[in-house]
Homo-oligomer: A and B are copies of this chain.
Amino acid sequence: MESQFGEKIRALREKQQLYLRQIAPLLEMDTAQLSKIEKGMRQLKREQIPIIAEILKVSSDELMTLWLADQIYAVVKDEKLANEAMQVTEEKIRFKKRKK
């Protein structure tokens, strides 16, 4: 499981029988880049998520969540203290919410 986001959009694209060639131009990139994105070798830009969500007829939030998860995972993937760090971060988020 390299990239959850990449795997998801690939699955969606294949289910709809679309080719990279058909989608890539809508995201203003070539097929090579989109291929890399699906394989997790590149990251889609955050602001392009709504666009691809619309193309694939899925909610932007769903894709955004996976995309964010990939970003987080990139930080912690080889860290033995990943879980502890996640805990601390969650606490910080809670703290922040309470304040506003």
Which residues in A have some Cβ–Cβ distance to B below 8 Å? 1, 4, 61, 64-66, 68-69, 71-73, 75-77, 79, 81-86, 88-90, 92-93, 95-96
Contacts and interface: CB of A to CB of B under 8 A. Distances in A.
A99 to B, nearest CB: 9
Query: A-side binding surface: helix, strand, loop or mixed?
Result: helix
Q: How many copies does the complex hold?
A: 2
B82 A93 contact: yes
B4 A95 contact: no
A75 to B, nearest CB: 5
B89 A73 contact: yes
Contacts of A71: 75, 85
Ranked 6 nearest A-B pairs via Cβ: A68-B85, A69-B88, A72-B89, A65-B84, A69-B89, A69-B85
